[in-house]
Amino acid sequence: MKRLVLVRHGKSSWKNDLPDHKRPLKKRAYNDAELVLNTFEHFYEPPAMFWSSHAVRALETAKMFKKRLKVDDKDFKVIDDLYTFNQNELLSVIRSCPDDINKLFVFGHNPGMTILVNSLGDKKMDNLPTTGLCVIDFDVDSWKDIQKGKTILNLLPKNLR
């Protein structure tokens, strides 16, 4: 079995005139991550691999999860190709995961994240919001074979406030 945890980056700031990949998180992102993690940490069972886009807003979100869930440095990687808004490119990166890893966390961007949640999972959602988390299980032995899985958890900050 393979378990995929998709997490959209936290709410980012548009205040400064920065390139998209350098936009920082807003204060709300830290509060939302706290809400999601307060619930998720009771569900989480290590080990898992954590992959994040290099964009500041995704990487900072991933680092909050890393710290709270006590993830080892060896299990935390920045993957440049995750800085994409395209679900097919995102899925291609996920399918490249080594098969000795059974749980993979991916921190990335919309619209690719929402489209992937809907195409891979069995519960539809209009939008995976910022700091939203979705867990999908696949009854396969290889990441290359993931197609349609079972959505077992959605955590959305607005539902936890």
Residue ranges of domains in the chain = 2-10+23-101+110-122+136-160
pTM of the model: 0.97
- For residue 14, pLDDT over 90 is answered with no
> Three-state DSSP class for 156?
coil
Q: Which burial class, exposed, middle or buried, applies to 130 when counting CB atoms under 10 A from its CB (0-12, 13-18, 19+)?
A: buried
The CATH code of the domain at 2-10+23-101+110-122+136-160 is 3.40.50
In this prediction, residue 73 carries a pLDDT of 98
Residue 16 has pLDDT above 90, yes or no: no
Q: What is the pLDDT of residues 81-107, one digit of tens each?
A: 999 999 999 999 999 999 999 999 999
Range 155-161 average pLDDT: 95
Q: Could you tell me the pLDDT band of residue 42, with boundaries at 50, 70 and 90?
A: very high
Q: Confidence class of residue 55 from pLDDT cuts 50, 70 and 90?
A: very high
Q: What is the pLDDT of residue 15?
A: 84
In this prediction, residue 74 carries a pLDDT of: 98
Q: Read off the pLDDT band of 7 (50, 70, 90).
A: very high
Residues paired with residue 52 on neighbouring β-strands, in sequence order: 78, 107
Q: What is the pLDDT of residue 161?
A: 87
pLDDT score of 78 more than 90: yes
> For position 80, what pLDDT does the model report?
97
Q: Per-residue b/e over 29-58, b at no fewer than 16 CB within 10 Å? A: beebbebbbeebeeebeeebbbbbbebbbb
Confidence of residue 17 (pLDDT cuts 50, 70, 90): confident
Beta strands per DSSP E along the chain: 2-8, 49-52, 76-78, 103-108, 133-138, 150-155
